[in-house]
Structure 1
Amino acid sequence: MQESYIKYYSHRLGRDIEMLVYGHWGYPVLLFPTTMGRYYEAKDFKLIDAIQGHIESGHIKLYCIDSIDKDSWYAKHLHPGTRIWNHVLYDRFISEELVPYIQRECNVDKIGVAGCSFGGFQALNYAFRHPDQVAHLMAMGAKYDIRSFMDGYYDDNVYFNNPVDYVPNAQNEHLYQMRIVLGTSEYDFCKPSTLQMSGILNAKGIHHWLDVKPWGEHDWPVWRSQFPEYLNGI
């Protein structure tokens, strides 16, 4: 299985962002790490092993991106307005620099995004903010209300990065074209939030697959089971 290390300089962030890329060819999927996770997390927790067949067959090409959570959502030493602004810059790096690079490299108009836990929030938030860039969304074991990170602070940047707030009012035809999977499990503490997001999408008539596994908690064994299954839909 081909593994490539990339250090991508972001002009939006003014820093290098590290990535691991798996596969020689295939439909591109951008994978976000869990809370403050690094670009090698999916490898360490055997998520890459779980989807090895998809990668080796040329079905997908997986881009494992680094996070900047310690400078944004989890940067308790910073003012909440600065935290959310740092995330806005991260979003701009992805939408204006990284995704166009992936589109050119893989010769596609849209990509797939995925993530587990906080990475699932990141994936869903990115997909719903940029539906013109995303054809496939696979979010596993995630919560979709980030107001608890903001210590009571609220502005437009918070609103437009809090899916439970902005999705009910979103009007974009690409949302209705996207293949959306919301995955959780019976004993996942994020299950209520996943059900809430499913309800929001149902109210808007946005087709999606709500997958609640009848076993398992908020942990990697569930996600290693779900991810290969969800990739079958690409």
Structure 2
Amino acid sequence: METQYFKNYSPALGREMECKVYGHAGRPVLFIPCQDGRFFDFENFHMTDVWAPWIESGQVMVFSIDTMDKETWSAKDGDPYWRIRRHEQWVRYITDEMVPFMRAMVNQRNGWEGEPGVLVFGCSLGATHAANLYFRRPDLFDRLLALSGIYDAAYGFDGYMDDQVYLNSPVHYLANLPADHPYVAQYNQKKGVICVGQGPWEIPDTTFRVRDICAEKGIHLWVDVWGYDCAHDWDWWYKQVVYFLPYLLEK
């Protein structure tokens, strides 16, 4: 498996950011690590082994990045006003810097032109961020695989709410999305999967809320609820990747 390491200065964040890229060809995949995670977690937690059939066959190139959770969602003792604005800088790093970088690389490797859509993937808080990116920027992200996420920003910001927190809380902004909003048609041209178990350490409530909101708005999203044996852990996420990825990679 071809693996590359990059370290580049991010204007959005005012610091250097690291990432690893797995694969030689195929559609771009953005992996967002779990809470407080690092760019090397995709490899260290053996997701490379699970994704290997699709990476080595040239169907996908996976770009694994760093989180900023320690300064934002996890920094509960900090000022929430500052924390959510720091998080928004990280979102801009992804949308304005990482996505163009990914598109340029996959275009060069595949001999493509244009702006290919990105599959965004994460587990736990990584799923929270992945789903938020998919719903906020359907112009950039055309596939979603979100496993065991929480889709209410109260998880990171408790009772604090302002316009920036709202923008990062899918259960809030999706509930207020007009049924005729152009994003609904865009979502329905794409493929999204949100999955949660009901076993140890899983918190399925906000997944149920997203499911109900999407049904009400006519948003096509595959929301799958697994059983009471399904825990919030890597062994289950491996199984879910194998189960859902063929659907997401279909044309």
User: How far 1:211 moved relative to its partner?
Assistant: 2.0
Query: Distance in 2 between the 1:140 and 1:148 partners?
Result: 16
Checking the alignment, whether the CA contact within 8 Å between 1:80 and 1:151 is kept in structure 2 is no
Number of the residue aligned with 1:231: 245
Q: Deviations over 1:40-60 (max 9, x none)?
A: 112111111111111000111
User: How far 1:98 moved relative to its partner?
Assistant: 1.0
Structure 2 residue 165 is the aligned partner of structure 1 residue 158: yes
The two structures have a TM-score, normalised by structure 2, of 0.89
1:1-234 map, 5 Å: 1-107=1-107, 108-170=115-177, 171=181, 172=183, 173-187=185-199, 189-214=202-227, 215-233=229-247, 234=249
SS at match of 1:149: helix
Equivalent position amino acid for 2:146 in 1: A
Query: Distance in 2 between the 1:152 and 1:183 partners?
Result: 26
Which structure 2 segments of 5+ residues have no match? Answer: 108-114
User: How far 1:104 moved relative to its partner?
Assistant: 2.1
User: How far 1:228 moved relative to its partner?
Assistant: 2.6
Q: Deviations over 1:152-200 (max 9, x none)?
A: 2211001111111001223313222220101112315222221221111
Percent sequence identity is: 37
> Would you say how many aligned residue pairs link Structure 1 and Structure 2?
234
Checking the alignment, whether the CA contact within 8 Å between 2:23 and 2:60 is kept in structure 1 is yes
Checking the alignment, whether the CA contact within 8 Å between 2:76 and 2:157 is kept in structure 1 is no
User: How far 1:138 moved relative to its partner?
Assistant: 0.5
Checking the alignment, whether the CA contact within 8 Å between 2:153 and 2:166 is kept in structure 1 is no
Q: Deviations over 1:39-83 (max 9, x none)?
A: 111211111111111100011110111101111111234200000
Query: Distance in 2 between the 1:56 and 1:41 partners?
Result: 19
User: How far 1:87 moved relative to its partner?
Assistant: 0.5
The two structures have a TM-score, normalised by structure 1, of 0.95
Query: Distance in 1 between the 2:84 and 2:63 partners?
Result: 24
Which structure 1 segments of 5+ residues have no match? Answer: none
